[in-house]
């Protein structure tokens, strides 16, 4: 058994190396990182499950989910600079504060209509888990100079903040679903969920502000080596998580808030956070999509139903695109750009990690249905958004140039 597992692990590590060596070549193709590692995970699913005990796999995927989610939440939030956002805040503001609640609300209604037996609590949880977007799936769009800067920045800000903003809805939905969906049965669970949502941000604010001020103080006196900056990032993200757990708050919400406070309090260049996530962070991302393909997707396919497939398609189209279209009404954007922003709301890392954590922390009656819906939505999104990113980026660039030329004439 040990030898078989060693061979599987070796094959995975070789795939990591080969991908890293061919990164630029992959970026020029239609194939994306999530597509590659989802497919690789699916290919090694059987040998991996045969070689490793179930308890080891379960513990490993939970640990990976927690570590990756904490770092992603902190890193994404730290990138959003309020000073820059004030210059062009209208589109992200509309999509986050109008489009995101609409997506959760419409998604809850759609899920309840398609699967009324699941109940409103499971419908809310499903909608919350499937609402955050992942810019990594549409990286050719975010990185393409052909796409107008305002659209790229809007997608960046939205994907950076919506996973943290949706967390309270995930906690509430999971709490109600675990309690049977009845408020009368929750007893102290509702209060516990409320305390997590309130105390989590308090821990995040405290840790983020104190470390940012401490780092400014140390660097102004040349006390900090440049190599230690990455350690500060890691320690701060996990300190916020643990501090929240200690006082009864939600650690993931704390990590998100800590990142936002740290990024906007720290006076020096925060590039060390981004550099870490581009290196070690990418390894975590590759691992997360591999785990999805190996451990979640096969289970999702095993329990797939026509209802789950319909919910997946509706979330990627009607729910997402309809919510964004409504939120951008009156913004002055042309229809093609509204549709573009609506389409590029791919589901990926956050939905995967939320599902792993929720399934581990809560005893949810409709767990198989939830896993099936999330797996199908993420798998379809990885393929559809990954393959359409480059062509649509070029098309929206040409459309923008044509529009500008028309205005000039």
Q: Give the C-alpha distances (Å, rounded to integers) separating 89 from 15, 339, 342, 372.
A: 40, 19, 17, 36
10-residue averages of pLDDT along the chain (409 residues) = 73 91 82 89 90 83 84 83 71 91 96 92 94 76 80 82 84 84 51 76 94 92 84 92 91 89 88 78 86 90 91 95 94 91 87 85 85 93 88 78 45
Query: How many whole angstroms separate alpha carbon 326 and alpha carbon 250?
Result: 31
Question: What class has domain 2-408?
Answer: mainly alpha
Length of the chain in residues, anyone? 409
**Can you give the pTM of this predicted structure?**
0.81
Say how far residue 196 (Cα) sits from the centre of its chain.
Answer: 20
Contact 314/114 with Cβ under 8 angstroms?
yes
Query: How many whole angstroms separate alpha carbon 99 and alpha carbon 138?
Result: 19
Buried b (16+ CB within 10 A) or exposed e, 103-118: bbbbbbebbbebbeeb
What pLDDT shows up at residue 344?
A: 87
Sole residue written with tokens 């936002």: 260
Domain borders along the chain are 2-408
What pLDDT shows up at residue 85?
A: 65
- Cβ atoms within 10 Å of 398's Cβ, excluding its own: 11
């Amino acid at each position: 058994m040990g030898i078989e597992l060693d061979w599987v692990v070796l094959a995975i590590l070789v795939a990591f190396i080969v991908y890293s060596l061919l990164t630029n070549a992959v970026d020029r193709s239609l194939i994306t990182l999530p597509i590659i590692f989802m497919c690789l995970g699916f290919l090694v699913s059987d040998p991996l499950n045969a070689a490793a005990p179930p308890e080891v796999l379960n513990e490993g995927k939970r640990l990976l989910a927690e570590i990756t989610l904490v770092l992603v939440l902190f890193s994404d939030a730290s990138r959003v600079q309020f000073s820059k956002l004030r210059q062009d805040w209208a589109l992200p503001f509309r999509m986050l504060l109008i489009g995101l609640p609409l997506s959760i609300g419409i998604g809850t209604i759609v899920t309840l209509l398609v699967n009324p037996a699941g109940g409103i609590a499971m419908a809310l949880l499903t909608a919350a888990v499937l609402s955050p977007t992942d810019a990594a799936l549409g990286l050719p769009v975010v990185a393409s100079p052909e796409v107008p800067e305002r659209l790229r920045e809007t997608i960046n800000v939205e994907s950076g903040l919506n996973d943290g903003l949706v967390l309270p809805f995930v906690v509430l939905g999971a709490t109600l679903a675990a309690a049977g969906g009845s408020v009368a049965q929750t007893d102290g669970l509702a209060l516990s969920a409320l305390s997590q949502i309130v105390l989590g941000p308090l821990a995040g604010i405290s840790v983020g502000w104190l470390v940012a001020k401490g780092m400014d103080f140390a660097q102004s006196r040349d006390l900090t080596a440049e190599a230690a900056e990455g350690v500060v990032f890691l320690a701060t993200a996990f300190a916020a998580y643990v501090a929240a757990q200690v006082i009864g708050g939600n650690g993931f919400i704390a990590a998100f808030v800590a990142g936002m406070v740290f990024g906007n309090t720290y006076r020096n260049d925060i590039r060390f956070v981004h550099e870490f996530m581009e290196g070690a962070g990418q390894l975590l991302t590759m691992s997360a999509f591999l785990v999805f393909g190996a451990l979640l997707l096969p289970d999702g396919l095993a329990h797939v139903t026509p209802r789950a497939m319909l919910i997946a398609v509706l979330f990627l189209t009607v729910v997402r695109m309809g919510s964004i279209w409504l939120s951008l009404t009156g913004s002055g954007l042309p229809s093609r750009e509204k549709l573009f922003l609506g389409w590029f709301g791919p589901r990926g890392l956050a939905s995967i990690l939320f599902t792993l954590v929720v399934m581990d922390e809560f005893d949810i009656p409709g767990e198989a249905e939830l896993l099936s819906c999330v797996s199908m939505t993420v798998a379809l999104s990885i393929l559809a958004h990954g393959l359409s990113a480059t062509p649509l980026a070029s098309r929206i660039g040409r459309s923008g140039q044509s529009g500008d030329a028309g205005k000039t004439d």
